[in-house]
């Protein structure tokens, strides 16, 4: 189990290259009556990074087209890091359980 844990740790992507969020591609209308978007040809794509802060709050920002691949890679890295950390945590919990040995009964006080 320790070897598996070490192997998972070695597979972590560089920690400075991850990002939590969702990347969305959007097409927008500007509202000008004579614009092509008024006829259904929307402007875009506009790339948008959305991040949940908690259940009620979100934040986001636009992403420049030359940054899209980097942002995608960082988001994928975030999911890899999260998945591998969960697996390492599971291993550590099992190692702790095994180290404790058989369950010991506690003495009851006052009886």
* pLDDT by position in tens, the chain (length 111): 889 889 998 888 888 999 999 999 999 999 899 999 988 899 999 999 999 999 899 999 999 999 999 999 999 999 999 999 999 999 999 999 988 776 666 666 765
Question: Looking at residue 23, what is its pLDDT?
Answer: 97
Around 76, how many Cα atoms within 13 Å sit in the side-chain half-sphere?
A: 6
From residue 91, alpha-carbon distances to 79, 82, 107 in Å are 19, 14, 30
pTM of the model: 0.76
Going from N- to C-terminal start, the domains of the chain cover: 2-99
Burial 101-110 (b: 16+ CB within 10 A, else e): eeeeeeeeee
**Chain centroid offset of residue 101 CA:** 36
């Amino acid at each position: 189990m320790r070897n598996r844990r070490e192997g998972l740790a070695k597979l972590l992507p560089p920690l400075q290259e991850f990002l939590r969020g969702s990347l969305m591609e959007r097409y927008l209308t500007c509202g000008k009556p004579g614009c092509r978007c008024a006829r259904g040809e929307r402007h875009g794509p506009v790339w948008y990074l959305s991040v949940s802060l908690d259940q009620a709050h979100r934040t986001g920002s636009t992403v420049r087209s030359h940054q899209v691949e980097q942002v995608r890679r960082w988001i994928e890295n975030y999911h890899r890091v999260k998945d591998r950390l969960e697996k390492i945590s599971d291993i550590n919990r099992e190692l702790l359980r095994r180290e404790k040995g058989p369950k010991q009964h506690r003495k009851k006080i006052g009886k």
